[in-house]
Structure 1
Amino acid sequence: MPKRQAVIAGAGIGGLTAAIALHRRGWRVTVCERAPEPPVTGAGIGLAPNALRALAAIGVDAARATGSAVPETMGVRRSAGQWLTRAGTADMAARYGVAPVAVPRPAFTAALAAALPPGTVRYGTAVTAVDDARGRPIVRTEAGPDLPADLVVAADGIHSPLRRAYFPAHPGLNYIGETAWRTIVDAPDLGIAAMSETWGRGQRFGVTPLSDGRHYLYATAVVPAGTRPTDARAELRARFGAWHDPIPALLDRVARLAPADVLQNDLYDLAAPLPRLHHGRIAWLGDAAHAMAPNLGQGGCQAIEDAVVLAHLLPTGDGANGADSVPAALAAYTAARRDRTDAVRVRARRVGRLGAIGHPLAAAARDLAVRATPTRLALRGMDDLFNGFRLPG
């Protein structure tokens, strides 16, 4: 019997994880990526315990692929440097079975792509449409030729053309009111052992040690959508240069980067949940399905969960279970994933509103409340996220 064929639109973390999971269940997989080549610059991504367990379920060892260094502590600080809350990663590992790890996104996507057969990922191949009128989808691409498929996975990102095509009545994206800058710097001499996010008034600055010894930096500010400074490096210095150490020293490293190495993106999430995460033989995952604010560090983690659960529910690729089992499996995927991912989306939006508070009195009350919360209760509040990954059945 010929193998079932899957076409995946998008070679981000969710799309590549889905490709690996389906390949290991015997599917023939093609990944179509709009970009002309793999990313070589970019930012970092945090892999929380739930994502690491999902990857382990399909035989992917993220630490082996990208390095296993983890920070000693994680927490939230004020702009003057005082810790509002802090937890040791050893405590997190004891509670959740594994410590979170942060990795360079380009290195991680390269490791995922390398786990696939040569030729699986086709760069410079944008999916323009999916014709499913005859039951078996035909994927149209700019590069051609058309690709018949038993399954199409829409992992085509936050601005997903396939989401807009199949859910035209959906309200789309919601600007959450903040822009974000991201970059990676080398700073081994600074001896930074903590993963931290610092809260000011309407601004935040994050420092994350990466598995390869570099540091992922991100910053946010409440500004109108489309605001773009002439020089992002100078903008970061103006906004955060007087904050606590080691932020000024890290900004010295940022000043030495090429302008293109500092990324800026306005932050959006999905304005409302999709009515379902599938249509016929098409399944949506990651940002295409449930774009969320980055405040919980769960966007990529939920995409990984999506991909692993989707492949688990689908029949094997040898065709032995009959053609009709694919649509039923996608309905089960919606049932398994829609409520969890929407709950995370809503929670991430609420946490972002706390971090973006600009009024001095409201910010002081927020900081006092966070500081008064015992660490054990703060960790317990993450249980549903970090222990929430389950394979159905």
Structure 2
Amino acid sequence: MSSTKHVEIAGAGLAGLTMATALAQRGWSVRVHERGAELREIGAGIYLWENALRALEAIGAAEAVTSRGERINSPELRDHKQRLLQREWLRDGRLYTVLRRDLHSALVQAATDAGVEIRTSSAVIGAGADGSLDLADGSSVKADLVIGADGVYSRVRDTLGLTQQITNLGDGCGRHLVPRTDDDPVNVAWEEWNGGRRVGVIPSSPEWTYLFLCCPEDDTEGTAQQPFNRQTWIDSFPSFRSQLERVPDMPEGRWAAFSDVVTRHWYRGRAAVIGDAAHAMSPNLGQAACTAMANSIALAQSLDVHDIDTALQVWQRSEKPVVDRVQRYSRMYGKIGTRWPDQALGARSALIWSLAKAKPFQRRIQFAAGYFPTLDAASGPVGAGR
């Protein structure tokens, strides 16, 4: 009888593929279930901070990703009067911006190279604490460990009874790619705020620039991004006219709301959740995907040195407080960006400028970028856990 451990994973997104590759490289037998008929990602860009880059390095996928991306030396934030408020986010470590589809393709390749089996058109409808995964075709599969990486509305999380709360944060954004021109920044990410609206212009590959257009959900003109209400955004951000005019009338991207997922626990028995299924958050700090990938590596590290039950306890006890803290800071930052009275925009600018100069605050709000788990070196008594 084989001693090889087997894991079944629901979801072939960024967290699921990182998890799959990390375990396969450690000798596990791995199968991933993807509900879609093909493996794909949305046409948008993504920030990869130091923690995400180290996660990619841990599975040997970093070079394939960064070779197509842009090294950012200065992320800049300006206010409604185009005054520079912040370029201090990148004090330590690295930051790359890449296309999500390039990142996803590299993760698919890394998983395939590691021997991961990926099944498309294989929808998961639930999981059991005994290490079972229930599929939409009526079948059930059993493993030493099952993992739900199946997003905000995770069936794995819900059927395990791990969901505490899913909160619509009241704001969101549209994500768009436009052909890159000489009008766009090089090795710099631009962001500008005007009222409750925020625009980002981020070079993400030699050919493409990524735009994010964020606003509260009650800003009906701003949320109209498919078809694209171009003029309302040009009126708010005239300095970005060149980029906004390149957004197609019917772009691939549409406005979507941000959500927070709060879970009671990250696992029950031999079933766990990762990524958005465990801790979805707004992308205000650029850490939603970064923490998801780093946390996947953390679970693999813990499984390196502990039996499965102990590994899950150690992983949750160590990493859940870290991710909960990132989620809180991201929520707070979003409220400053979108829920601020128009008559007090000058005060907001002064606040952001002063916080940018406060090194202790900078370290607190950006701590996740410089944090990377080392659970494969952890030792000592295990807490009560779950």
TM range (shorter): 0.7 to 0.9
Give secondary structure in 2 for the equivalent of 1:173. strand
Which residue does the alignment assign to 1:289?
278
Please list, as runs of the form range in 1=range in 2, the aligned pairs for 1:158-177 lying within 5 A after superposition: 158-167=152-161, 170-177=163-170
CA contact (8 A) 2:10 2:150 kept: yes
Unaligned runs of 5+ in 2: 379-386
CA contact (8 A) 1:39 1:106 kept: yes
The structure 2 residue matched to 1:180, chosen from 173, 188, 197, is 173
Closer/same/farther in 2, CA of residues 66 and 287 from structure 1, 3 Å limit: farther
Deviation string for 1:300-350 (max 9, x for gaps)?
Answer: 01101111000111148xxxx8xxx21221111111111111111111100
Which residue does the alignment assign to 2:383?
none
Which residue does the alignment assign to 1:266?
257
Which residue does the alignment assign to 1:123?
120
Alignment pair present for 1:44 and 2:56: no
Closer/same/farther in 2, CA of residues 331 and 356 from structure 1, 3 Å limit: same
Closer/same/farther in 2, CA of residues 266 and 68 from structure 1, 3 Å limit: closer
Aligned alpha-carbon RMSD (Å) = 2.5
Distance in 2 (CA, whole Å) between partners of 1:226 and 1:144 is: 42
CA contact (8 A) 1:277 1:333 kept: no
Instruction: State the shift of 1:230 in Å.
Output: 6.0
Q: TM-score, with normalisation over the residues of structure 1? A: 0.86
Distance in 2 (CA, whole Å) between partners of 1:46 and 1:80 is: 25
Distance in 2 (CA, whole Å) between partners of 1:287 and 1:33 is: 15
Distance in 1 (CA, whole Å) between partners of 2:10 and 2:116 is: 15
AA paired with 1:386? A
Instruction: State the shift of 1:372 in Å.
Output: 3.2
Unaligned runs of 5+ in 1: none
Distance in 1 (CA, whole Å) between partners of 2:287 and 2:315 is: 19
Which residue does the alignment assign to 1:384?
367
* Paired residue total: 371
Alignment pair present for 1:341 and 2:323: yes
The structure 2 residue matched to 1:238, chosen from 232, 240, 251, is 232
Instruction: State the shift of 1:191 in Å.
Output: 3.8
Which residue does the alignment assign to 1:249?
242
The structure 2 residue matched to 1:326, chosen from 303, 308, 325, is 308
Distance in 2 (CA, whole Å) between partners of 1:40 and 1:354 is: 30
Deviation string for 1:220-254 (max 9, x for gaps)?
Answer: 11124999966535324313444142x11111110
Distance in 1 (CA, whole Å) between partners of 2:165 and 2:123 is: 21
Alignment pair present for 1:309 and 2:298: yes
AA paired with 1:124? S
CA contact (8 A) 1:101 1:211 kept: no
Instruction: State the shift of 1:77 in Å.
Output: 0.7
AA paired with 1:389? F
CA contact (8 A) 1:77 1:198 kept: yes
Give secondary structure in 2 for the equivalent of 1:180. strand
Please list, as runs of the form range in 1=range in 2, the aligned pairs for 1:27-42 lying within 5 A after superposition: 27-39=28-40, 41-42=42-43
Alignment pair present for 1:208 and 2:197: no
Alignment pair present for 1:107 and 2:98: no
Of stretches 305-314 and 189-198 in structure 1, the one that deviates more from structure 2 is 189-198
CA contact (8 A) 1:177 1:225 kept: no
Closer/same/farther in 2, CA of residues 66 and 122 from structure 1, 3 Å limit: farther
Give secondary structure in 2 for the equivalent of 1:364. helix
AA paired with 2:212? Y
Give secondary structure in 1 for the equivalent of 2:111. coil
Distance in 2 (CA, whole Å) between partners of 1:21 and 1:225 is: 42
Give secondary structure in 2 for the equivalent of 1:172. strand
Deviation string for 1:112-162 (max 9, x for gaps)?
Answer: 011123662111111112244xx4x22221246532211111111011112
CA contact (8 A) 2:6 2:143 kept: yes
Please list, as runs of the form range in 1=range in 2, the aligned pairs for 1:221-236 lying within 5 A after superposition: 221-224=215-218, 232-236=226-230
AA paired with 1:112? L
Instruction: State the shift of 1:38 in Å.
Output: 1.6
Which residue does the alignment assign to 1:352?
334
Distance in 2 (CA, whole Å) between partners of 1:226 and 1:329 is: 47
CA contact (8 A) 1:173 1:268 kept: yes
Give secondary structure in 1 for the equivalent of 2:284. helix
Structure with greater contact order relative to length (CA < 8 Å, sep ≥ 6):
1
Aligned-pair identity in percent equals 28
Alignment pair present for 1:75 and 2:102: no
Distance in 1 (CA, whole Å) between partners of 2:299 and 2:219 is: 34
Distance in 1 (CA, whole Å) between partners of 2:266 and 2:52 is: 20
Distance in 2 (CA, whole Å) between partners of 1:305 and 1:216 is: 23
Closer/same/farther in 2, CA of residues 229 and 47 from structure 1, 3 Å limit: closer
Closer/same/farther in 2, CA of residues 66 and 164 from structure 1, 3 Å limit: farther
Distance in 1 (CA, whole Å) between partners of 2:347 and 2:225 is: 34
